[in-house]
Structure 1
Amino acid sequence: MKQARLLGASLLFNIVFYVVTTAWSLFGYTCLMASHPDRLILFGRSWARVVIRALHLICGIRVRISGLEHIPQGGPALIASVHQSAFDTAIWMLLPRPAYVLKKELLRVPLFGALMRPSGMIVVDRRAGARAIRDLMRDGKRARDDGRQVVIFPEGTRAQPGAPHVIQPGVAALAAAMGVPVIPVATNSGEHWGRNSFLKMPGVIQIIVGPPLPLHLSRAELVQAIQNAWRELEGKLGEPVDNAVGDVVAEFVSRAREPV
């Protein structure tokens, strides 16, 4: 019976997720046709809130976020997060002006992919070699000057919970170009919404935001600092979770109330 409920909840959520994503993508095209690409961020934010709400109501997955004080409420930021789940691509849409660093292949996703560039996301062609790094640095500067909160998953792809972290060099180039501190983030999202997993496991997704890392580190020093910060933050993921999850999420959402 318990397994049947889990299967049923997961099936329902997956249906809701794809329907909502398709509908919001179509809404996004109305912004482009009306020459209002700036409103794509508003649509993305509402999409994220619906997805997170559906996870709670359908799958019994709550969200606990700590360390939000380390993220500036206004102006540019560079967030370097562990990446375990598709959930990680939703939660940061709640920032005031997010800009994800994403691989070029995602532009091929029907409907959704064509909205990435107009919404200000930073697209990286991983096969372009040195040119990809130059483009990343150029677009990072533009995002900083536009007051965007840049979110990068330095491992380049989703990893299994507990797997060793392999950080790609792009994060160091991006940090140097933007000239803002890197803010490390750890999560256990993959334990509840696994990579390529149909099942959504009930419980609490924890997100821990660490203090900004020092500026002007060398590439090797920054990579090591991110790895050290992630290990320290991951050590706190097993700590007891209180029941004030909804209040913490509301605090996160309140940071997105600045006008776009």
Structure 2
Amino acid sequence: MTRIFIRSLIFNVLFYLLLVFWILVAIPTFLLPRRALIKVAKMWGQSSIWLMRVVCGTRVEFRGVEKIPAGPLIVAPKHQSMWETFALLQFFDAPLYILKRELTWIPFFGWFLIKADMIAINRQKGGRILMEMARRASEEVNRGRQLIIFPEGTRTAVGAPPHYKAGIAQIYADCNVPCLPVALNSGLFWPRRQFMRYPGTIMVEFLDPLPAGMSRRDFIDLVSEQIETASNRLIEAGRLEQEALFGGVPSTATVVPDRTASNQ
């Protein structure tokens, strides 16, 4: 593991230096249309994937790319890591995120979020947040954008019981566009709140889009079932790969599943 620690250290340093580099590259886009900034953001994401492969030996396999619909869309990925927040950008023409407004206060990085018309929410508004999110999301998606929203609301460790939020069902109902579920196993290789980055293959699978017009209950049941079933399959494949590489799954990359927990 000493070698992996050293590689992780090198990667983390270079990752943030690379972010600074792309922030500097993107400064002229303040004077250009939003699509120029989005193009730079996509290059940042792709270069970060490349950096992780070169330094950490972490490859990426994208499956089902042909299933991604054109036009306005809700994208619902499993959320295990920071990795998917930038790695999925490359597949969408006008990506949109919902984020806490405090991120927009970060010099340059936050200003780019504002320039990109991301939806920044004030969490102190309590119950009014959902209505505000749904309204803003509907407006932006109906302008042709692709909303990337994590149904669980936050990163969850591999093996942790899933908990899908009602907010995505409300947004789905208000937007009235298809939803693309996305399964992945990134948490095995870039664990949340962890320093280590592990070699192996991050697998991402774009699943069959769900049509607009389903009831909220049917939607949340189906999207959670599809994402969890596919993600568990990818996690099992990743664990088998880690068994071959390390003789076991690194303890920092996963938690012991609660077999008694509900999937809903």
TM range, normalised to the smaller chain? Answer: 0.7 to 0.9
Match for 1:23 among 18, 21, 31? Answer: 21
Other structure's SS at 1:212 match: coil
After superposition, the C-alpha distances for 1:88-131 in whole angstroms (9 at most, x for unaligned) are 10111102221122222322444312211211222233332343
Q: Compute the displacement of 1:239 (Å).
A: 4.4
2:147 corresponds in structure 1 to: 150
The separation in 1 between residues aligned to 2:2 and 2:232, in whole angstroms, is 33
1:86 corresponds in structure 2 to: 82
Asked if structure 2 preserves the Cα contact closer than 8 Å seen for 1:22 and 1:111, the reply is no
Q: For the structure 1 residues 160 and 109, does the alpha-carbon distance in structure 2 shift closer, same or farther, using more than 3 Å as the test?
A: farther
2:6 corresponds in structure 1 to: 8
Q: Compute the displacement of 1:226 (Å).
A: 1.7
Q: How do 1:184-223 residues align onto structure 2 when only pairs under 5 Å count?
A: 184-223=181-220
Q: Compute the displacement of 1:19 (Å).
A: 0.8
2:178 corresponds in structure 1 to: 181
After superposition, the C-alpha distances for 1:155-204 in whole angstroms (9 at most, x for unaligned) are 11111011111112221121112111221111110110011111100000
The separation in 1 between residues aligned to 2:164 and 2:199, in whole angstroms, is 29
2:256 corresponds in structure 1 to: none
Higher RCO, 1 or 2 (CA under 8 Å, sep at least 6)? 1
Which AA in structure 2 matches 1:59? C
2:73 corresponds in structure 1 to: 77
Which AA in structure 2 matches 1:204? T
The separation in 1 between residues aligned to 2:172 and 2:149, in whole angstroms, is 10
Query: Which consecutive unaligned segments of at least 5 residues does structure 2 have?
Result: 242-264
Match for 2:65 among 59, 64, 68? Answer: 68
Q: Compute the displacement of 1:135 (Å).
A: 2.2
The separation in 2 between residues aligned to 1:71 and 1:178, in whole angstroms, is 17
Q: Compute the displacement of 1:85 (Å).
A: 0.6
1:247 corresponds in structure 2 to: none
Query: How many corresponding residue pairs?
Result: 238
The separation in 2 between residues aligned to 1:185 and 1:37, in whole angstroms, is 26
2:252 corresponds in structure 1 to: none
Other structure's SS at 1:107 match: helix
Match for 1:57 among 29, 54, 57? Answer: 54
Query: Which consecutive unaligned segments of at least 5 residues does structure 1 have?
Result: 243-260
After TM superposition, the score normalised by the length of structure 2 is 0.83
Q: How do 1:110-259 residues align onto structure 2 when only pairs under 5 Å count?
A: 110-237=107-234, 238-239=236-237
Which AA in structure 2 matches 1:60? G
Cα RMSD for the two superposed structures: 2.1
